[in-house]
Amino acid sequence: MIRLLRKFWRQTDGAVVFEGLFGSLLLLGWYAIAFQFYDVFRMRAQVLRASYTVADLISRERNAIGPTYVTGLKKVFDYISNTSDSDGTWLRLTLISCSAQTSDNCDGVSKAFTLAAPSYTTATSGVSVHTTTSINAEHERIPILAPGDMAVVLESSYPYFPILDIGDMALLLDGETWTQQGLSSKLRFSNFVVTRPRGPQTVWNSTK
Q: How far apart are CA 91 and CA 73, in angstroms?
A: 9
CA distances from residue 190 to 42, 58, 143, 186 in whole angstroms, order as listed: 14, 18, 19, 12
CA-to-CA distance for 167 and 188, rounded, in angstroms?
13
Q: Which helix (H) or strand (E) holds 97?
A: strand 90-97
CA distances to 55, 93, 107 from 114, in Å: 19, 14, 11
Q: Where are the domains of the chain?
A: 14-195
- How far is it, in rounded angstroms, from Cα 142 to Cα 113? 10
- Determine the pLDDT at residue 197: 93
How do the pLDDT tens digits run along the chain, 208 residues long?
777 777 767 776 666 676 778 788 888 888 888 888 898 899 999 999 999 999 999 999 999 999 999 999 999 999 999 998 888 999 999 999 998 887 889 999 999 999 999 999 988 777 899 999 999 999 999 999 999 999 999 999 999 887 766 655 555 555 554 455 555 566 889 999 999 999 889 999 988 8
Measured in whole angstroms, the distance separating CA 82 from the mean position of its chain's CA atoms is 14
How far is the C-alpha of 134 from the C-alpha of 78, rounded, in Å?
Answer: 26
Helix, strand, or coil (residue 38): helix
Q: Which residues pair with 158 in a beta bridge?
A: 189
- The whole-number pLDDT of residue 74 equals 95
Distance, in Å, from the CA atom of 45 to the CA atom of 208, rounded to the nearest integer, reads: 31
